[in-house]
Amino acid sequence: MAGLTRVRLLILVVLYRRALRRSQTLGSLAACRADLEDSLLVVWDNGPERAAEEEGQWLHRAFPRVAYLHDAANPGLATVYNRTIAHYLKPAMPEPFDYMVLFDHDSKIDPAFFAELARARRAHPEIPLFLPLVTAQGRIVSPANFYVFKGFYWKKKRTGLSRTRYRTAINSGMVISVPYLRDEFLGYDERLRSYGTDNFFMREYNKNHGQFVILDCAIEHDLACFTPEPVETKLRRHHENMNSVRLLNEEGSLRAWIAQFYCGVHSLRQAIRYRDLRFLA
């Protein structure tokens, strides 16, 4: 990897009901093959069926080092992240990875991502967390301002060092140092499935680290709230999201009460919007 000699990345891509070659993330990563010679790509497939043989063959042709894992039980993201960290980063004699990089299946990765990571790491080797700018339909959706349980998108691009307090970010594109994950981070709350793992991580990171680095590159990401979906899908996402808000704010009676009030108001708005009382359940 140019500019990042002997620095090894553990890159985790989580799939669900998505063929390997149809994953925008895997396709854009494959275009960066030359930057991945010293890294390991782990593809965790939560779909009900294991990838077809020809799909697996494509995967091993597309990447210099890759591991494909299938789990039809569809564990939540927190469980997937914890298991990956435990298996690859915390054995008695772990392979010497320097950073873990998280991706969803539907992110279009800037070809300059790895070169920009190398540059930013040289400039700030003491920082354990690097984040790309993430855009969805032209909006900057990550990093974002975050107060209690409500996020607010940025209107202008920012790069370089950023304070951690009152900030959050989505999982896809996070670059986290292995020493932090192995020695400081106590693990993800496995009650969180699809929502809240990113806010949980940023909350824990903020306890001991006041800064992270924003990379001068962008990842295009499909965000569910901007995507037309059947009401049944919106309903499932809504309930998981509300559950994560309650879990992340369960400490402290006042905070828990405010979160419960917010969930009630938001659920009512969604019930009116979709004319479906199930959003209130």
Please tell me whether residues 16 and 79 are part of one structural domain.
Answer: yes
pLDDT exceeds cutoff 70 at 6: no
What six digits make up the tokens of 150? Answer: 């409500």
Asked if residue 188 is part of any domain, the answer here is yes
pLDDT exceeds cutoff 80 at 101: yes
pLDDT exceeds cutoff 70 at 117: yes
Q: Is the pTM of this model over 0.85?
A: yes
Please tell me whether residues 237 and 252 are part of one structural domain.
Answer: yes
pLDDT at 233: 85
Please tell me whether residues 192 and 273 are part of one structural domain.
Answer: no
Q: What is the mean pLDDT of the chain?
A: 91
Please tell me whether residues 243 and 113 are part of one structural domain.
Answer: no
Task: Round to whole Å and give the CA distance between 63 and 224.
Answer: 29
Choose the weakest-confidence range: 203-207, 220-224, 236-240: 220-224
pLDDT exceeds cutoff 60 at 5: no
pLDDT exceeds cutoff 50 at 16: yes
Regarding predicted confidence, which is higher, 256 or 73?
73
Of the residues 194, 224, 254, the one at which a domain ends:
224
pLDDT at 2: 40
pLDDT at 12: 98
Asked if residue 4 is part of any domain, the answer here is no
Q: What is the mean pLDDT of residues 58-87?
A: 96
pLDDT at 71: 97
For residue 7, how many other CB atoms are within 10 A of its CB? 16
What six digits make up the tokens of 236? Answer: 């499932």
Please tell me whether residues 178 and 264 are part of one structural domain.
Answer: no
pLDDT at 251: 84
Please tell me whether residues 150 and 215 are part of one structural domain.
Answer: yes
Please tell me whether residues 181 and 85 are part of one structural domain.
Answer: yes
pLDDT exceeds cutoff 60 at 114: yes
pLDDT at 227: 63
Could you give the number of structural domains in the chain? 2
Q: With beta carbons less than 8 A apart as the criterion, state whether 85 and 57 touch.
A: no
Please tell me whether residues 159 and 107 are part of one structural domain.
Answer: yes
Of the residues 176, 209, 224, the one at which a domain ends:
224
Task: Round to whole Å and give the CA distance between 114 and 110.
Answer: 9
Please tell me whether residues 173 and 96 are part of one structural domain.
Answer: yes
What CATH number did the domain enclosing 62 receive? 3.90.550.10
pLDDT exceeds cutoff 70 at 26: yes
Please tell me whether residues 235 and 220 are part of one structural domain.
Answer: no
- How does residue 185 score in pLDDT terms, banded at 50, 70 and 90? very high
Asked if residue 86 is part of any domain, the answer here is yes
Please tell me whether residues 246 and 119 are part of one structural domain.
Answer: no
pLDDT at 93: 60
Regarding predicted confidence, which is higher, 92 or 172?
172
pLDDT exceeds cutoff 90 at 222: no
Query: What is the biggest distance separating any 2 CA atoms in the chain, rounded to whole angstroms?
Result: 56
Task: State the burial class of residue 232 (Cβ atoms within 10 Å of its Cβ: 0-12, 13-18, 19+).
Answer: exposed
Of the residues 176, 200, 224, the one at which a domain ends:
224
Return the residue matching tokens 């793992």. Answer: 197
- How does residue 1 score in pLDDT terms, banded at 50, 70 and 90? very low
Please tell me whether residues 46 and 140 are part of one structural domain.
Answer: yes
pLDDT exceeds cutoff 80 at 76: yes
Asked if residue 139 is part of any domain, the answer here is yes
pLDDT exceeds cutoff 50 at 4: no
Q: Backbone phi, then psi, for 107, in 5-degree steps?
A: -110, 135
Asked if residue 116 is part of any domain, the answer here is yes
- How does residue 115 score in pLDDT terms, banded at 50, 70 and 90? very high
What six digits make up the tokens of 110? Answer: 């800037």
Q: What is the mean pLDDT of residues 171-177?
A: 96
Asked if residue 83 is part of any domain, the answer here is yes
Per-residue pLDDT tens digits for 231-249? 888 888 889 889 988 999 9
Asked if residue 22 is part of any domain, the answer here is yes
pLDDT exceeds cutoff 70 at 172: yes
Asked if residue 265 is part of any domain, the answer here is yes
Range of the domain at 165: 9-224
Q: With beta carbons less than 8 A apart as the criterion, state whether 142 and 53 touch.
A: no
